[in-house]
Amino acid sequence: MTFQLKSIFSIPGESKEFEYEIDKNKLFQRTGIVFHSDVKVKGSIVNRAGVVKLCYHCDAAVDHVCDRCLCEFVREYGFDFEHILVTDTKCDDYVVCNDFELDLDELAVCDMLLEFPTKILCKEDCKGLCAKCGADLNKSPCSCVRDN
């Protein structure tokens, strides 16, 4: 969703509340990640004394494959994000809104990708697969002789 923010940047005290969903198919096209459902985004943009701040929350459910045992599962995530918005392109530490526009979909996708874990496990103590026979060690031990 793209927001026009000229009035918010121009008027201290001005604010905008928002709540919407990002289509899971659109997300797959952008990221290659299979989202189980649409991502819910809710938050606000507020100008306080000339400082424009974006605060929002994303709820997402992602279809994963465990990196150890290869089982498929769905994990739900809830992320909170805050950014200072600016119109000056010389500011590297803030989100730049060229022509007073903010593409929140793009920002939310980038924020979520940075928050997702790099190692995906179905559970913290996943035992994985046997390297010899391929048995799922979470379900039962295999009869392979272990080399020490």
- The predicted pLDDT at position 143 comes to 84
Query: For residue range 75-129, what is the model confidence (pLDDT) as tens digits?
Result: 999 999 999 999 877 767 899 998 899 999 999 999 999 999 999 999 999 999 9
CA 8, distance to chain mean position in Å, is 26
- The predicted pLDDT at position 91 comes to 67
| Nearest CA among 15, 1, 34, 21 for reference residue 107 | 1
Q: What's the DSSP call for residue 136?
A: B
Cα–Cα dist 83/135, whole Å: 46
Which sequence spans correspond to the domains of the chain? Answer: 2-115
Q: How many CA atoms lie within 13 A of 140 on its CB side?
A: 4
Cα dihedral value 34, 36, 37, 42, nearest 10:
-80
